[in-house]
Amino acid sequence: EAAEGGRSRPRRVGIMGGTFDPIHHGHLVAGSEVAHLFHLDEVVFVPTGQPWQKETGKVTPAEHRYLMTVIATAENPQFRVSRIEVDRAGPTYTIDTLREMRDILGPDVELFFITGADALGAILSWRNVDELFELAHFVGCNRPGHRLTDTGLPDGKVSLVEIPALAISSTECRERVRKGEPIWYLVPDGIVRYINKTGLYLDDRVMDGTP
Ligand code: ATP
Ligand code: MG
């Protein structure tokens, strides 16, 4: 994008991947804070399709998770949602998503992959770690219950940042709904209403893909 005076700087795009089952304020605060700290032009939330790491568990159909992510981010002009993983057949790999983002956005865009401390810990065990770090700068956010440490992280490829800590997880939100406990203020109001309307998380039954 051209800036004032004819100078330009590369567009800076954050990518926040997740199951978002459901999306909660921890995700939104992480996206917002990293956008601020790294002067990002936008943050793209990328709900997973069929998450390979959670294949054995029950994950809500992607269409519900995608719609909840759209609802939760709709008011923020810097936030977007991508269907890139939802529409891809087969298991989801972050490397494919980053490659595809790179193809779509072009070589001049700077990509920042945003993860919580727990997910960052798993990164080093991913395949193609070197290519991952070539494709994007990684930003690890603190998360209550997970210690952020830079041991074993490659120099200059990963930033560890402190964000306002929210002890919220999707797992806890799902359990609260199942037990009839409120999730107001843990997730955006529209997400509470969407969950009530659809009956998501009330029991262990797997819902079909059509919201
Ligand atoms: P689940 O309990 O189902 O695993 P989750 O709350 O961990 O859900 P995910 O969709 O797995 O949410 O997480 C997507 C990304 O957001 C991951 O990088 C995760 O580390 C990060 N994240 C999730 N919750 C928080 C939080 N409260 N603070 C900071 N980062 C978070
Ligand atoms: Mg998680």
Tens of pLDDT, residues 90-147: 777 888 999 999 999 999 999 999 999 888 878 767 778 888 999 999 999 999 988 8
pTM to 2 decimal places: 0.92
Probe residue for ligand 1, chosen from 27, 56, 143 as the CB with the greatest number of ligand atoms within 8 Å? 27
Is 85 within the bounds of a domain? yes
Determine, yes or no, domain membership for 142: yes
CATH code of the domain in which 129 resides: 3.40.50.620
- Classify residue 50: in a domain, yes or no: yes
142 in ligand 1 pocket by Cβ < 6 Å? no
- pLDDT value for 2: 46
ipTM of the complex: 0.99
Domain presence at residue 183: no
- Six-digit token pair at 143? 């998360």
Determine how many CB atoms are found less than 10 A away from the CB of residue 162: 10
- The mean pLDDT of 170-184, rounded to a whole number, is 98
Please indicate, yes or no, if residue 189 is contained in any of the structural domains.
Answer: no
Per the domain annotation, does 125 fall within a domain? Answer: yes
Cα 180 to Cα 145: distance, rounded to the nearest angstrom? 25
Strand 12-18's sheet: what is its strand order? 79-81, 42-47, 12-18, 110-116, 137-141, 158-161
Question: Which residue from 15, 16, 19 has its CB within 8 A of the most atoms of ligand 1, so it is best to mutate?
Answer: 19
Bridge-based pairing of strands 137-141 and 158-161 is parallel
- Would you give the end-to-end CA distance of the chain in angstroms? 38
- C-alpha to C-alpha distance for 92 and 72, rounded to whole angstroms: 22
How far, in Å, from the CA of 80 to the mean position of ligand 2?
Answer: 20
Whether 168 is in the pocket of ligand 1, judged by its Cβ within 6 Å, is yes
Q: Is residue 138 part of a domain?
A: yes
Pull the structure tokens for residue 53: 């790491």
Domain count, the chain: 1
Q: Measured from the CB, is residue 31 less than 6 Å from ligand 1?
A: no
Note whether residue 190 is domain-resident. Answer: no
Q: What is the pLDDT of residues 15-37, one digit of tens each?
A: 999 999 999 999 999 999 999 99
Which domain covers residue 70, as residue numbers? 4-166
CA distance 43 to 73: 10
Rounded to the nearest angstrom, the distance between the alpha carbon of 23 and the centre of ligand 2 is: 11
